[in-house]
């Protein structure tokens, strides 16, 4: 997952502040350029109290620069109107990039309290920027004359992107509609804060205590040790505590023989933030009403129509058609998977009917029965450090980059690792890359990529390279045992690094089109295709070594991993497509149907969601769509990007997974290009044809794969 920031982190507001004095600049690290290697934020100098003053100074700086643009009497052109928009406030860029990172990864109680003041300031600043009529008129003049200004194709695309983004956010509205939009946006921003706060508090407050060691049967030793450490930290020595964080939750669902324990964890997760003081139902009800109102203000029938108009799908109907085209064969396959599980449970004399909290557990049993593959046999080969070696080796072979650790670089926590990403041949600096892989109470769940500095042209005339980071919530080391990743965690590591590659390798000349600043339904291509290298036999033999013996993963285990590669695809695809459909139908809601649980039940019946599988995320913890607007009415984009990924991966399979020419074409046309051209144009230049949805069905095993023909190498 990748997160979107404010439009080039730009903002303005009608407020006054005192000039920056030397004393202030000396004490607030955000107010001057960072005097560090590669301009990495000096985290040890940053205090929570620095954020609000820096945000206000940045807003004032941006306000002044907007005034400079609009008062310019010269005919609006690229240099006097668009270029200044790329660098409206260096101060605000610096503080906002760290603020949004901490908001997700280091949200202490002190920070969360401050954020309640900061987020409305930032959102109001964004409104002031986007809804500035004089500024928009200048942008429109450049847009209207773009064919006569002698612009390069890339500059012309930047102009078109600014015009589109301003228009999509209400810049072309009449004054009364703008005022309504500001009110709605302000109310939504406050609701997003409350939703995320409720979710974090609910996640941290739920736990299950196990008193009898016999109830831990089936769990891997690493999971038991982690639960014992969690109990000890809570003053419950001699007991075991399980939480809803993925490294604690998933092993229970996958391996615990105690069905009651699995059910308790499952129900704890699926009722997360849906009751008590942290209940998100009332918050969602208000969000749905306000989104419907916002869509009407913007001239659309519903929120989904507004959001899909901005990406490759163009309409909710087109997105729905794609989802159903994949959902229906996935449901059919999931029925076969459930039948296999039920047969195994019956053979064991379990006397149960497969329920959602049984799915992971019995899927593992069926997998072992069919492929003689137990994930606990594989995990010892996936120590985090070894996985990272494989990750970086693949990137070097494919794209010619190497990772050089910077042990003395600034860090916001000791367990963060910082790398200088270099050209493997010349040693040229390409990017800074940072990792933060373990869970903590101040970090939200999941995994994501973002950047603290974008590639592109800056106001001082320099072309800067990016600072990119990956965040995860993987299993921590326990005792003498290193962090041993599950198969899913290995895949996630490669996924987020795929996003990082697009951010780090970008050669787009302007920040607004660099890296992952591309259409939402295109951005997941790079991440999802990178997952495939994780389990290619050639790479596994390089990095998958037993953490105790150093033994290379045996050919027998590799063969089992390959044979089981399409196992349980019915479940995973049904779960994903079902959540995407729920999101899309929430977006089509006119604001009157706000019974959250009832709406989910109605949609489950409408699409035929199997009773053994629930939505990947239920609404109270579906942060993608209710924590902000980033993926709202756009969760389907993961599936659309999987079509691109599947089609692109077939090309690597046909030509060789480390084929230099194919990798060079992918690097040039996809990873480096950013949003310099239309996404479909770039994909077709790499692949040679438009994306084929049947490639996804073949990849998931829902359709037979035809004999491979070598693709034309680029």
683 found inside a domain: no
Give the pLDDT confidence of 145-199 residue by residue, as tens digits.
Answer: 999 999 999 999 999 999 999 998 899 999 999 999 989 998 998 999 999 999 9
Q: How many domains does the chain divide into?
A: 4
Read off the CATH number of the domain in which 356 is found: 1.10.1370.10
Is the pLDDT reported for residue 251 higher than 70?
yes
Same domain, 165 and 22: yes
pLDDT (0 to 100) of residue 16: 28
Query: CB of 10 within 8 A of CB of 129?
Result: yes
Give the pLDDT confidence of 463-512 residue by residue, as tens digits.
Answer: 999 999 999 999 889 888 999 999 999 999 999 999 999 999 999 999 99
pLDDT (0 to 100) of residue 26: 63
Same domain, 618 and 521: no
What's the whole-model pTM score? Answer: 0.85
Question: Looking up tokens 């049993």, which residue turns up?
Answer: 365
Is the pLDDT reported for residue 208 higher than 90?
yes
Same domain, 385 and 526: yes
Average pLDDT score, the chain = 92
Interatomic CA distance for residues 200 and 445, integer angstroms? 8
| Range 379-403 average pLDDT | 97
Give the contacts of 602 (CB within 8 A, at least 6 positions apart).
none
Give the pLDDT confidence of 412-448 residue by residue, as tens digits.
Answer: 999 999 999 999 999 999 999 999 999 998 998 889 9
Is the pLDDT reported for residue 11 higher than 80?
no
pLDDT (0 to 100) of residue 4: 46
Q: How confident is the model at residue 519 (pLDDT cuts 50, 70, 90)?
A: confident
Interatomic CA distance for residues 683 and 76, integer angstroms? 34
Interatomic CA distance for residues 583 and 642, integer angstroms? 18
| Range 547-568 average pLDDT | 94
Same domain, 496 and 548: yes
Interatomic CA distance for residues 126 and 12, integer angstroms? 6
435 found inside a domain: yes
181 found inside a domain: no
Which two structure tokens, joined as six digits, stand for 432? 């800074």
pLDDT (0 to 100) of residue 9: 41
Same domain, 576 and 553: no
Interatomic CA distance for residues 342 and 545, integer angstroms? 35
Instruction: Please compute, for residue 376, the number of CA atoms within 13 A of its CA located in the half-sphere on the CB side.
Output: 16
Same domain, 362 and 400: no
Same domain, 14 and 159: yes
Q: How confident is the model at residue 15 (pLDDT cuts 50, 70, 90)?
A: very low
69 found inside a domain: yes
| Range 272-281 average pLDDT | 96
| Range 450-458 average pLDDT | 96
Q: Which of 513, 544, 563 is the last residue of a domain?
A: 563
Is the pLDDT reported for residue 404 higher than 60?
yes
Query: Which three-class secondary structure string do you get for 641-701?
Result: HHHHHHHHHHHHHHHCCCCHHHHHHHHHHHHCCCCCCCHHHHHHHHHCCCCCHHHHHHHCC
Is pLDDT larger for residue 383 or for residue 521? 383
Is the pLDDT reported for residue 20 higher than 90?
no
Q: Torsions phi, psi of 284, nearest 5?
A: -60, -40
| Active site amino acids | 496
191 found inside a domain: no
| Range 110-119 average pLDDT | 94
Read off the CATH number of the domain in which 108 is found: 1.10.1370.40
pLDDT (0 to 100) of residue 676: 97
Same domain, 166 and 229: no
Same domain, 606 and 631: yes
697 found inside a domain: no
Q: Which of 272, 294, 322 is the last residue of a domain?
A: 272
Q: Which of 221, 245, 272 is the last residue of a domain?
A: 272
pLDDT (0 to 100) of residue 1: 65
Q: What is the DSSP string of 266-321?
A: HHHHHTTTSSGGG--HHHHHHHHHHHHHHHHHTT-SSHHHHHHTTSTT-SHHHHHH
pLDDT (0 to 100) of residue 17: 32
Is the pLDDT reported for residue 120 higher than 60?
yes
pLDDT (0 to 100) of residue 355: 95
Is the pLDDT reported for residue 10 higher than 90?
no
pLDDT (0 to 100) of residue 2: 64
pLDDT (0 to 100) of residue 143: 97
Same domain, 31 and 115: yes
| Range 375-391 average pLDDT | 95
Determine the Cα angle at 710 with ends 706 and 712, to 5°.
130
Q: Torsions phi, psi of 456, nearest 5?
A: 130, -175
Is the pLDDT reported for residue 12 higher than 90?
no
| Range 288-292 average pLDDT | 97
Is pLDDT larger for residue 523 or for residue 394? 394
Give the pLDDT confidence of 594-627 residue by residue, as tens digits.
Answer: 999 999 999 999 999 998 888 878 999 999 999 9
Is the pLDDT reported for residue 21 higher than 70?
no
Is the pLDDT reported for residue 19 higher than 60?
no
Query: CB of 424 within 8 A of CB of 400?
Result: yes
Residue 182: how many other CB atoms lie within 10 Å: 17
673 found inside a domain: no
Is the pLDDT reported for residue 102 higher than 90?
yes
pLDDT (0 to 100) of residue 566: 87
Question: Looking up tokens 């041949």, which residue turns up?
Answer: 425
- Look up the domain containing 108 and give its range: 7-172
Q: Torsions phi, psi of 79, nearest 5?
A: -70, -35
Query: CB of 216 within 8 A of CB of 240?
Result: yes
Is the pLDDT reported for residue 22 higher than 60?
no
Same domain, 257 and 401: no
Alpha carbon 664 to its chain's center = 25
Same domain, 288 and 268: no
DSSP secondary structure code for residue 78 in this structure:
I
553 found inside a domain: yes
């Amino acid at each position: 997952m990748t997160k979107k920031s404010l439009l080039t982190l730009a903002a303005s507001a009608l407020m006054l502040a005192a000039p920056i004095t030397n004393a202030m600049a000396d004490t607030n690290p955000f107010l001057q350029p960072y005097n560090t290697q590669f301009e990495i934020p000096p985290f040890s100098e940053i205090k929570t109290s620095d954020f609000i003053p820096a945000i206000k100074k940045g807003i004032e700086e941006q306000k002044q620069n907007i005034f400079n643009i609009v008062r310019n009497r010269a005919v609006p052109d690229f240099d006097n109107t668009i270029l200044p928009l790329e660098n409206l406030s260096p101060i605000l860029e610096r503080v906002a990039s760290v603020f949004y990172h901490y908001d997700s990864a280091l949200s202490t109680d002190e920070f969360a309290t401050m954020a309640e003041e900061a987020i409305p300031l930032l959102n109001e600043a964004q409104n002031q920027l986007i809804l500035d009529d004089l500024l928009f008129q200048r942008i429109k003049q450049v847009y209207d004359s773009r064919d006569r200004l002698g612009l390069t194709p890339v500059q012309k695309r930047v102009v078109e992107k600014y015009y589109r983004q301003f228009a999509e956010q209400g810049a072309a509205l009449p004054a009364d509609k703008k005022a309504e939009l500001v009110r709605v946006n302000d109310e939504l921003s406050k609701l997003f804060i409350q939703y995320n706060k409720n979710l974090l508090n609910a996640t941290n407050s739920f736990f299950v205590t196990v008193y009898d060691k016999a109830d831990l049967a089936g769990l891997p030793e690493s999971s038991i040790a982690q639960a014992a450490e969690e109990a000890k930290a809570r003053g419950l020595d001699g007991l075991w505590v399980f939480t809803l964080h993925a490294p604690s939750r998933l092993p229970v669902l996958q391996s615990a023989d105690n069905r009651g324990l699995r059910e308790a964890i499952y129900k704890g997760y699926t009722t997360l933030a849906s009751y008590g003081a942290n209940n998100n139902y009332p918050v969602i009800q208000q969000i749905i009403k306000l989104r419907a109102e916002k869509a009407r203000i913007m001239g659309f029938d519903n929120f989904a129509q507004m959001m899909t108009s901005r990406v490759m799908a163009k309409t909710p109907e087109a997105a729905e058609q794609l989802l159903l085209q994949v959902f229906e064969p996935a449901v059919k396959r999931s029925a076969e998977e459930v039948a296999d599980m039920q047969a195994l449970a019956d053979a064991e004399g379990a006397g149960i009917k497969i329920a959602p909290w049984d799915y992971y557990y019995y899927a593992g049993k069926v997998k072992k029965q069919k492929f003689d593959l137990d994930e606990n046999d594989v995990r010892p080969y996936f120590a985090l450090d070894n996985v990272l070696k494989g990750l970086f080796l693949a990137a070097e072979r494919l794209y010619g980059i190497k990772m050089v650790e910077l042990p003395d670089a600034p860090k916001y926590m000791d367990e963060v690792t910082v790398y200088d990403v270099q050209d493997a041949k010349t040693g040229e600096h390409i990017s800074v890359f940072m990792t933060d892989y373990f869970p903590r109470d101040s970090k939200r769940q999941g995994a994501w990529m973002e950047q603290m500095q974008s590639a592109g042209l800056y106001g001082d005339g320099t072309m800067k390279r990016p600072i990119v980071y990956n965040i995860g919530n993987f299993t921590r080391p326990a005792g003498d045992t290193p962090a041993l990743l599950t198969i899913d965690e290995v895949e996630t590591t490669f996924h987020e690094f795929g996003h990082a590659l697009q951010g780090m390798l970008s050669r787009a000349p302007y920040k607004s089109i660099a890296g992952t600043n591309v259409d939402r339904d295109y951005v997941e291509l790079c991440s999802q295709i990178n997952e495939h290298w994780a389990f290619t036999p050639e790479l596994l033999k390089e990095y998958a070594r037993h953490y105790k013996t150093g033994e290379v993963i045996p050919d027998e285990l590799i063969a089992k991993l390959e044979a089981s590669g399409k196992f349980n695809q019915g479940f995973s695809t049904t779960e994903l497509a079902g959540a995407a459909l729920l999101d899309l139908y929430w977006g089509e809601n006119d604001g009157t149907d706000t019974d959250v649980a009832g709406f989910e039940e109605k949609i489950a019946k409408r699409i035929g969601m199997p009773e053994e599988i629930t939505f990947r995320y239920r609404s109270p913890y579906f942060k993608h769509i209710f924590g902000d607007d980033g993926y709202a009415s756009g969760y389907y984009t993961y599936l659309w990007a999987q079509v691109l990924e599947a089609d692109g991966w077939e090309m690597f399979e046909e030509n060789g997974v480390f084929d230099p020419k194919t990798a060079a074409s992918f690097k040039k046309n996809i990873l480096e290009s950013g949003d310099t051209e239309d996404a479909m144009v770039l994909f077709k230049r790499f692949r040679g044809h438009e994306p084929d949805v049947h490639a996804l069905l073949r990849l998931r095993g829902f359709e037979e794969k035809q004999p491979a023909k070598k693709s034309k190498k680029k």
